[in-house]
Amino acid sequence: SPVPEDVPAGTVVAVLKVRDRDSGENGQVSCELSGESPLSIVASSGGSYKVVTASARDREQASEHRVTVVARDRGRPALWSSTELVLEVSDVNDN
């Protein structure tokens, strides 16, 4: 669902569950967002992460934001996986 351009910073727009079946450091996973966007990622409990709004969005500037989420384990060598998220922005003052 599109997110209104006027939602406050800190609004949760996605929840991600990340897990690695390995044990020890190989099973510890961290996530980060790649690229510039008005979003940030926050670790939650139980291997979950919340993608939240971090700054203002302006639909006239960009009707969507594409970010890449990268999950990386702590093994040596580190293994990783990525996926793209698309945040659609809806206009609240459409003239």
pLDDT digits (tens, 9 = 90+) for 32-43: 998 778 899 999
* Per-residue pLDDT at 90 exceeds 70: yes
Q: Would you say residue 10 has pLDDT above 80? A: yes
Q: Which pTM does this prediction carry?
A: 0.82
Residue 81 lies in a domain: yes
* Token duo for residue 34: 């790649």
Q: For residue 27, is pLDDT > 80?
A: no
Q: What CATH code is carried by the domain that includes residue 50?
A: 2.60.40.60
The verdict on residue 95 lying in a domain is no
* Mean pLDDT, residues 23-40 taken together: 84
The boundaries of the domain holding residue 70 are 11-88
Pairing of the two strands 29-34 and 64-73: antiparallel
Q: Is the preceding peptide bond at 38 cis, omega within 30 degrees of 0?
A: no
80 inside domain: yes
- What is the rounded distance in angstroms from the CA atom of residue 94 to the CA atom of residue 51? 26
Does residue 32 form part of some domain? yes
Domains in the chain: how many in total? 1
The answer to the question of residue 1 being in a domain is: no
In a domain, 52, yes or no: yes
Strand-pair partners of 67 = 85
Nearest residue to 71 via CA among 88, 54, 52, 48: 48
Q: How many whole angstroms separate alpha carbon 74 and alpha carbon 56?
A: 33
